[in-house]
Structure 1
Amino acid sequence: MTTQPTPTTTTGDRITVLIPTDFYVPAFLGGGPIQTLKALIEESPPQYDTWVVCANHDLGESAPLVEQPNEWLPVDRANVRYVQGGLRSLLGAFRAAADVDVIYLNSLFSPRYSLLPLILRSLGRWRGADVLIAPRGELYPGALAQKPRKKRVFLRVFRALGLHIRTMWHASTEDEARQIRSLFGEQTRVLVRENETSLPRKARTRAPRSAGPLRAVFASRLHPKKGLHILLAALAEVTEPVQLQVVGAFADGEYEEHCRSLARDLPAHVSVDFTGAAARDVVLERMHDADLMTFPTTGENFGHVIAEALSESCPVMCSDHTPWSAALSSGGGGVVSPNTPEAWAAAIDEFSAAGADAWEAAAVRAGESYCTWRNEPKGRHIFELVRAKESKSSV
């Protein structure tokens, strides 16, 4: 009989981190937060041992990810327990995680993988562990406007139970830190550290662009906050030919019908291909083949998909609701403001009319912008900041 490993508290210089999260690789339908978490683990200092507890299925799917659920399995630098079998199995996973040093929550609005661990800790489980919550942009106004009643109730319960006390927060930007403090008070402890990425140090170059219509791509989870409906409404007004490839799974049937209805009414010189969800390597390849990545998001705390596009030397046209505005304006692509169909139609027409030579030059600038960003010093890893109880934005 094989003895399964069990996470234990600090031994010598080893530090144990428990990460409950709804989805983890090989899941990919949950989008950027999965890749961000994977990079967070891969880029952590060598003395940190990471234990992940997640569901044994992908977002909106029922097929199991692994054939050995409810056991600790090595996945790259982490040990992962893919939970299957309901609440009892989940509680069993948390019982199997002995005393740990850090609990890192990859979301705020997850009843099973954020709220439940916080309640267990308030009842005495993992006493003494540092708790860090990464809301991943969930507290931006655009995100809170989606299903607002449910989120207001969640936040009311969260505060009433005092779960925000004795916790720290991981913000990827100073702006996100302000959003967190506006909800939970100015004395809230917030550590500001840009999200990790495992993308390459150098952007991938591309072959010369031949003539033809503009090839655009939209790659994200197809949710109202990501703004696909804004893009489709804009394409109804463009005068230049555009071929758009939409990569991702719809969040719900109502939004899917709305977007497909907009696509059906587009003029003949605009084509839209809904390709569905795709694995990360496929998404990267489609970005590499595109002249432009379009992203009218209503708010991102980081925007991993933007970094991915730039790593493929794909210029990004984006709303001004991300941390990437400066990098895009200085060469990585462009920023559209206000985030309206009219403004997007004008920006796309201008880019499309410039032609193949201009698109090729834009791709070179996008790759250069990516290399500059990717190789900038990022500072200490967030796990180290938690243990040191320090950050440039700590109160």
Structure 2
Amino acid sequence: MACIIKIYMSLLWDKVSAMQKEKLKVAVFYRGYTPAKNFGGPVVSIRNIIESCGDEIDFYVITLEHDKGSAVRYENIAPGPNRVGRATVYYLNDNQAHYDGFKELLKGIRPDIIYQNSFFGYTFSLPVLKLSKEMAIPLVLAPRGELCDAAYKMGHLKKLLYKRFVLVRYDLSRVIFHLTSEDEYAQTMKNLRLSPENMCYIPAIPTIPGKKYKKPEKLPGEIRLVFLSRIVKNKNLDYALKLLVRMKANAEFDIYGQVEDADYFDRCLALIKNLPSNIKARYRGVAEPGQVHRIFAEHHLLLFPTQTENYGHVIAEAMLSGCPVIISENTPWTDLRDAGAGWALPLEDEDKFLHALNEAANYDAGEYGALLKRCEKYIMSKVELNRLRARYIQMFSEAGRKNKL
């Protein structure tokens, strides 16, 4: 009997060990990761994938040890592997973030999949493309909106030359491109001339608030607005400020975000100084990640006339926090207007933005409460976390099966 039990336990252990070995390993490459503040939406997208799928997949993040625009090393990180949430993270200095450094890490990790974030971020993307082929590791590449028309046109000549170099040097038919919006899917296919077999469309996973916050009272003729994004030209803060000059209602406008373009920010500050007395605009600095949902909840509307967004985490997080939005049409969220959940408007027509601002400002508590309900219904219909999680796991699993070289 003891012998039978011993044999059974041995077989059971072999089965458990085999199951453990079957767990996918994904090496994630991007220049920024937690606790970075200045790399924008991609860090949020990557973190949310990892935290949602970490039970099924072992994630290893290879990133830089400092934030964008800074040479200061993050605090409380160690050389080698660091456990951050559900990922093992390697923070590299600039002298380690190259082909040989990446190769050494990949040899130790032995991943089933590489998940590269950014197409034009050549310091990571070019070595990763090369290593994927040399080491026979399937590659999933998320361009994070870089190949959308509006973003692609910025610095177009350099990007065109880089794209041609990549197309000549590397076989992109081996790569699965992960796109997070229908527009990004179509425009990436066009700009890289990809086959549908090499493309996978799965929306980004939004950050869900941990609690509900009390909303400020809404009185007719008064409104609290917020802008939360990086301070750069394509986020269009100056456009928002110019709209407020023409508003008749009383408005408070709080601005949060990392200043990436100092000259542009100086122009915005000049606009703030010339606002009429009924408009109170203030720059509040950089929002801490843990405070974002509270900030949105303290305001009536997000005003975000962005020139281009691939996904727009800030838009999703605002609505999930009970803060409807006035945004441009250059995002994947344009159908919110059909649901009466907010406004998505053409940048070419400032009068439509102004009309929306005045309309919202004149809402009473009942009208604003109805808007909040429509907004909540809309965003909850968009956010199906279990389904999104399953699709991401499927994407990585299928990439591992189909792309083996």
TM-score tier after normalising by the smaller chain length:
0.7 to 0.9
The equivalent residue for 2:355 is 346
Q: Go from structure 1 to structure 2 and tell me whether the alpha carbon gap of 1:76 and 1:246 turns closer, same or farther (over 3 Å shift).
A: same
Residue deviations 1:355-392, cap 9 Å, x none?
444333323332332333224763533242243259xx
Q: TM-score, normalising length from structure 2?
A: 0.85
Closer/same/farther in 2, CA of residues 60 and 346 from structure 1, 3 Å limit: same
**How far did 1:308 drift?**
0.8
Match of 1:119 in 2: 130
Q: CA offsets per residue over residues 179-224 of structure 1, 9 Å max, x none?
A: 1110121425110111123415x98353461547210001111222
- Cα displacement (A) at 1:164: 2.5
CA deviation string 1:78-133 (max 9, x = no partner) = 000011252467743541222321111121121222222113334x1x31x21111
Counterparts of 1:300 and 1:64 in 2: how far apart (Å)?
29
Aligned to 1:217: 226
Counterpart residue number, 2:403: none
2:226 alignment partner, SS class: strand
Counterpart in 2 of 1:133?
141
Question: Are the aligned partners of 2:216 and 2:300 in contact in 1 as well (CA < 8 Å)?
Answer: no
Return the offset for 1:305.
0.8
The one-letter amino acid paired with 1:17 is: V
Task: Give 1:251's aligned residue.
Answer: 260
Identity %: 25
The answer to whether the 8 Å contact 1:216/1:290 transfers is yes
Q: 1:334-364 deviations in whole A, cap 9, x for unaligned? A: 2122454333222212211224443333233
Counterpart of 1:41 in 2: which secondary structure?
Answer: helix
The answer (yes or no) to whether the contact 1:13–1:47 under 8 Å persists in 2 is no
Tell me if structure 1 keeps the 8 A contact 2:81–2:90: yes
When residues 185 and 252 of structure 1 are mapped into structure 2, their CA distance, relative to the original with a 3 A threshold, is same
Residues 1:314 and 2:323 are matched in the alignment: yes
The CA deviation at 1:232 is: 1.6
Distance 1:65 1:96 in 2: 20
In 2, the alpha carbon distance for the partners of 1:173 and 1:260 equals 34
Misfit runs of 4+, over 6 Å: none
Alpha-carbon offset, residue 74 of structure 1: 0.8
Structure 1 stretch displaced more, 304-313 or 225-234: 225-234
SS at structure 1 position matched to 2:339 = helix
Report the equivalent of 2:313: 304
AA aligned to 2:123 is R
User: Is 1:275 aligned to 2:301, yes or no?
Assistant: no
3-state secondary structure, aligned to 2:326? strand
Once residues 205 and 67 of structure 1 are traced to their aligned partners in structure 2, the CA distance between those partners, rounded to angstroms, is: 31
Which amino acid in 1 is paired with 2:376?
A: G
CA apart distance, 1:45: 5.8
> Per the alignment, in what secondary structure is the counterpart of residue 114 of structure 2?
strand
Aligned counterparts of 2:92 and 2:238: Cα–Cα separation in 1 = 35
Task: Write 1 or 2 for the structure with the bigger share of helix.
Answer: 2
User: Please, which moves more after superposition, 22-31 or 147-156?
Assistant: 147-156
CA contact (8 A) 1:226 1:297 kept: yes
Which deviates more, 314-323 or 342-351? 342-351
Name 1:3's counterpart in structure 2. none
Q: Partner of 1:185 in structure 2?
A: 193
CA distance, structure 2, for counterparts of residue 103 and residue 47 of structure 1: 16
User: Tell me, which stretches of 5 or more residues in structure 2 are unaligned?
Assistant: 1-18, 401-405
Larger Rg: 2
Note the aligned Cα RMSD (angstroms).
2.5
Q: Does 1:170 align with 2:178?
A: yes
Q: What corresponds to 2:394 in structure 1?
A: 384
SS at match of 1:317: strand
Aligned partner letter, 2:121 = S
Gaps of 5+ in 1: 1-9, 391-395
Q: Read off the aligned partner of 1:113 and give its amino acid letter.
A: F
1-structure distance, mates of 2:253, 2:31: 31
Quote the Cα distance in structure 1 between the aligned partners of 2:361 and 2:258: 27
Mark the CA change 1:152 to 1:97 in structure 2 (over 3 Å): closer, same or farther: same
Task: State the alpha-carbon separation in 2 of the partners of residues 94 and 11 from structure 1.
Answer: 25
Q: Give runs of aligned pairs for residues 1-395 of structure 1, distance below 5 A.
A: 12-44=21-53, 46-87=55-96, 91-98=100-107, 99-122=110-133, 124=134, 126-127=135-136, 129-187=137-195, 189-200=198-209, 204=212, 206-207=214-215, 209=217, 211=219, 213-375=222-384, 378-379=387-388, 380-389=390-399
Letter in 1 for 2:259: F
Between the aligned partners of 1:186 and 1:208, the Cα distance in structure 2 is 48
